[in-house]
Amino acid sequence: MNGYKKDYGLEKRFFEFTDMRELMEYASKKYADHVAFITKTKRGPEPEYKKTTYSEMFREMGYLGTALMKRGLKDKAVAVVGENSYQWVLSDMAAACGVGTVVPLDKALQKDELLSCFNRSHAKAVFYDKKHAPMLRQIFDENSSELTQAFAMDGAELLEEDRDDKFCTLGDLLAEGKASVEAGNRDYLDAELDRDKMSYLLFTSGTTERSKAVMLSHKNLMSCNYGMNCEELFFPDDVDMMILPLHHIYGFMGLVTFLSQGLTTCFTDGLKYIAKNMQEYQVSVMMSVPLLLENMYKKICKGIEKQGKTKQVELAKKVCSAADKVGINLRKVVFKKIIDEMGGRMRFFINGAAALDPVVQEGLNSLGILTVQGYGLTETSPTIASETYRYIRKGSCGHVMPNVEARIDDPDEEGIGELVVRGNNVMLGYYDDPAATEEVMEDGWFHTGDLAYFDKDGYLFITGRKKNVIVMKNGKNVFPEEIENLINFLPYVSESMVFTQNKMNDYVLWVKVVCDQEYMREHGLDQEKVEEMFAGDLDSINDTMPAYKMVKRFFISDRPTVKTTTMKTKRREEIKQIEAEMEERGLKEQHL
């Protein structure tokens, strides 16, 4: 399907690192002069870049960690909040590899939310970027947290008069640490790490309830890294672009895997610049989420359609499939123009956070771009299962990682039940919340809260969140994600959410549909025309469903769903928005 037939025997090439510091020291030696990070220092017609090698990064980790320990932060919690950057990664890594516990925080948090995370984690220091400077100043002035120090990651933004005993820059710390190391200080460099102890405290996205604080150790993270290294195919000349927020374990552990194999990492200038940045950096690997990949594939299909080459491309796909059977990979040549529009080197997409539309995945693979679906949670560091270059099955999450055990708890007649897992990747527990930990842990087994089944070949299929499943009055289960995936692939649909409304002591399935505004403009569509189109398409979708899964009512909205930073809909919050919008538009009265 995508040209990867050879078994690279990855499990024979890798070993499990003891901790993050060992991983980074290994990379600093094996890939010493290889570029670890490319940072754009100047935008515009003539951009400028700074390249940081693996050996330089490891040396700077030593300087920074030494400075943090000299400032009394040994065994303390250190928060990091800001946009993705090399400075973010350096701050996180240095603090985790010998200082204390790292608390990565969502850059989108409002002041009260941020303050709550500081206080719940008992953070004593924080690394921050320009955007968060006013907020941090206010928190310090109010003396409303346990924070005693704040470090500006983009140090040029901190004026000389603003430096004091509480505020300084990352550059200041590096200079302090360098001087101390050169004077013989090895407190940080020789510090012993306990791989079983909490080293990361991550607040979950809380798509369904108040966020929990997940405790992860070096052992958890290195177990996940080893599993990924044994399954996913990367090369040292690959260039990956970070578009996922690094405070989220999915994006961060992807980066850790890239670092362990010597890849070069760059950062996107923003979601609307992804295509431009892919060309700029000649990106070959990218971790993504469904919304981004689905929009990307829609644009590819739209471009093919505009050129009147849809039939030609479909025929080319069939020819390539036939060539695959005799061991010849034609896709890179046949679809070169499409890949060139992505920079010319794009070869591998990893999708996570939510299920990717199987049509999109199959479409990207047929163009010669390896596209796999992974699955995991913050509590499992995160990867539980993933497709690989060798194992892809439509609609599945691939096989369970080789160092993870999994079973289905209390399966129904179709083999669907809650997925339960065990392994060194499973969290230590929820911080300061033994009751919540006890709810999900049982004899070392973690209850994921996801409903799933295994097919006869061991491929894992996730059918939906246990908390999201809609139980109809006849006892039948409806998985909203299943219906949403079908609706979201309509070319004029940006996203959707299935929900219920009561009617005569029964549930009626509704769906909110958010349309692609660009598509509507290009095709001259108004609200009335879109409603007419969707009514017909919904009838077609319903024809493929049993009666209890049929969506009876819908409304078209221009309000995006409420989302987490990994683009998952916060269903509980979105329901409140839906209720308000239906009330405003008189839809509830119409229904009743």
* Cβ atoms of residues 51 and 267 within 8 Å: no
- d(CA 277, CA 283) in angstroms, rounded, equals 8
If DSSP codes are grouped into helix, strand and coil, which group holds residue 246?
A: coil
- d(CA 472, CA 572) in angstroms, rounded, equals 19
What pLDDT is stored for residue 403 in this prediction?
95
Centre a 10 Å sphere on the Cβ of residue 435 and count the other Cβ atoms it contains.
Answer: 7
- d(CA 174, CA 166) in angstroms, rounded, equals 16
* Cβ atoms of residues 188 and 91 within 8 Å: no
What pLDDT is stored for residue 592 in this prediction?
44
CATH superfamily, region 264-465:
ANL, N-terminal domain (3.40.50.12780)
What pLDDT is stored for residue 474 in this prediction?
66
* Torsions phi, psi for 12 (to 5 deg): -90, -15
List the chain domain ranges. 10-193, 264-465, 470-591
Q: Report whether CATH 3.30.300.30 matches the domain 470-591.
A: yes
Domain 10-193 identical in fold to domain 470-591? no
Whole-number Cα distances in Å, 257 to 203, 241, 252: 21, 13, 9
What pLDDT is stored for residue 467 in this prediction?
77
Taking each helix axis from N to C end, the angle separating 249-260 and 20-30, rounded to the nearest 10 degrees, works out to 40
Q: From 3.40.50.12780, 3.40.1160.10, 3.40.50.9100, 3.40.930.10, which CATH number describes the 10-193 domain?
A: 3.40.50.12780
357 forms bridges with which residues in the sheet? none
pTM over 0.85: no
What pLDDT is stored for residue 209 in this prediction?
46
Low-confidence ranges of the chain (pLDDT < 50): 206-209, 592
- d(CA 419, CA 414) in angstroms, rounded, equals 14
Taking each helix axis from N to C end, the angle separating 358-366 and 290-306, rounded to the nearest 10 degrees, works out to 60
